[in-house]
Amino acid sequence: QIELVREKIPELTLTTDLLVGFPTETEEDFHKTIEAVKKIEFDQSYMFRFSPREGTLGSMYPDPISEEEKLRRLSELIRVQNEITGRKPLKEIGKKKRVLIYDRAKKGGMLGRDETGKLVVVDRGKPGEVVEVVIEKVSGWTPVGRALS
């Protein structure tokens, strides 16, 4: 079904929160999470390991998963997501976007967000200005564009 959504909304930005190491999570559950992340290809994920918090339902379960195992699972999940996140901006090269400038970039140029909320570095512009940009390269995971006007 995610393929249909992406087909209907090509510029979709899909993010999620992922928790690993919940007391009832099995190794099989964890591998299913990894496979789902690979299939869905989230643009961004906020990833955490379980830690019990007083007053929550999670704190009522015995916690059989060691901290070491939780960290291993979290590291693997982060590695998989980083591979996906690293590939996605390369698909932006050559595309035109409307970008709302909001601040100066630390390494030169301006920071902005495109219409889907993705960060873009632009060669010029003023905070509050919307500029038409063509993406020319990627720096890290961030598309870098040239203002067209």
Q: Which residue has the tokens 């976007």?
A: 97
All CATH 2.40.50.140 domain ranges in the chain, comma separated? 93-147
The mean pLDDT of 9-18, rounded to a whole number, is 92
Place of tokens 């901290």: 67
Confirm if 65 and 111 have CB atoms less than 8 A apart.
Answer: no
Q: What is the mean pLDDT of the chain?
A: 95
Domain over 2-90 is classified CATH 3.40.640.10: no
Quick one: pLDDT at residue 11?
Answer: 84
pLDDT of 10 over the 90 cut:
no
Distances (CA, A) of 67 to 3, 21, 62, 130: 36, 8, 14, 46
* Alpha-carbon 90 to chain mean position: 14
- CATH class, domain 93-147, is mainly beta
Question: Which part of the chain has CATH 3.30.750.200?
Answer: 2-90
